[in-house]
């Protein structure tokens, strides 16, 4: 800065709503062109395949039956256990932890590797997606049924959170065993039974053109 010379102040031009929309569309088009011009590895491309809305709703409804306790419900349950202890009443039903949906990437990974989970749901909108792209292979390796849904918020709703990357069920009540079997058949038909196919499909709509240019 030269002494005595005034610093130039850059004017910030505010965009109109139409200009903002035009700019956003321009950026989106650029992103889409980039997506279509590069090869997407099968391990990542498989997350473009998600459960149909009707099937997703059925599976989510099963998980909702085992929604974890909120703070108020947990406090009430522990209070009842304490009361039963002081009254020396039969507390066999109260001391057993309820069957609940498990969540959290590290926790679900551990459950899969220890074969303690029977059904896993994974979100396709995780950023970065590489955080969860190993889960389908891990599930296949350990024989755990898995499905992919569109949004983390859908899974988060099941466990009293805004969003979560994945959820899992260890077991269900006897009366829900048929529902679990049906849910596993639905997700297996789309994912587990077609795992080898998914792992050979390279993403990107212009992959053939790119291959021709490379050849």
Domain boundaries, the chain: 40-68+98-202
Distance from the first to the final alpha carbon of the chain: 55
Question: Rounded CA gap, 107 and 115, in Å?
Answer: 12
Question: Rounded CA gap, 70 and 194, in Å?
Answer: 37
All residues at 6 or more sequence positions from 65 whose CB lies less than 8 Å from its CB, including other chains: 172, 176
Is residue 120 within 8 Å of 63, Cβ to Cβ? no
Token pair in block for residue 178: 């048929």
Maximum alpha-carbon separation in the chain: 88
All residues at 6 or more sequence positions from 107 whose CB lies less than 8 Å from its CB, including other chains: none
Question: Rounded CA gap, 7 and 5, in Å?
Answer: 6
Is residue 150 within 8 Å of 123, Cβ to Cβ? yes
Is residue 121 within 8 Å of 59, Cβ to Cβ? yes
In order along its 215 residues, the chain shows pLDDT tens digits of: 556 667 777 777 788 999 999 999 999 998 888 777 788 899 999 999 999 999 999 999 999 999 988 777 777 877 777 777 666 655 444 446 789 999 999 999 999 999 999 999 999 999 999 999 999 999 999 999 999 999 999 999 999 999 999 999 999 999 999 999 999 999 999 999 999 999 999 987 654 444 333 33
Provide the whole-model pTM: 0.75
- Would you state the pLDDT for residue 212? 38
Q: Phi/psi of residue 130, each to 5°?
A: -65, -20
Specify whether domain 40-68+98-202 bears CATH 3.30.1330.30: yes
The secondary element (H helix, E strand) that includes residue 102 is strand 102-103
- CA distances to 7, 18, 63, 134 from 144, in Å: 65, 49, 16, 13
All residues at 6 or more sequence positions from 41 whose CB lies less than 8 Å from its CB, including other chains: 202, 203
DSSP alpha helix (H) spans, 96-206: 105-113, 135-142, 152-158, 177-190, 195-198
Token pair in block for residue 209: 């053109």
């Amino acid at each position: 800065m030269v002494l005595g010379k005034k610093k130039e102040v850059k004017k910030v031009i505010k965009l109109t709503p139409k200009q903002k929309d035009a700019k956003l569309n321009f950026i989106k088009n650029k992103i889409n062109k980039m997506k279509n011009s590069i090869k997407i590895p099968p391990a990542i491309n498989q997350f473009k395949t998600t459960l149909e809305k009707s099937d997703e709703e059925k599976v989510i409804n099963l998980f909702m039956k085992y929604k974890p306790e909120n703070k108020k419900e947990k406090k009430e349950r522990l209070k009842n256990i304490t009361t039963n202890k002081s009254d020396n009443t039969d507390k066999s039903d109260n001391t057993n932890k309820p069957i609940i949906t498990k969540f959290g990437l590290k926790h679900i990974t551990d459950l899969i590797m220890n074969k303690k989970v029977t059904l896993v749901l994974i979100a396709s909108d995780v950023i970065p997606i590489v955080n969860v792209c190993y889960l389908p292979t891990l599930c296949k390796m350990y024989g755990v049924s898995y499905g992919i849904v569109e949004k983390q918020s859908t899974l988060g709703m099941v466990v009293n959170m805004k969003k979560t990357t994945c959820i899992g069920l260890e077991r269900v009540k006897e009366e829900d065993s048929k529902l679990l079997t049906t849910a596993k058949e639905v997700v297996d038909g789309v994912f587990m039974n077609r795992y080898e196919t998914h792992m050979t499909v390279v993403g990107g709509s212009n992959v053939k053109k790119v291959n021709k240019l490379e050849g």
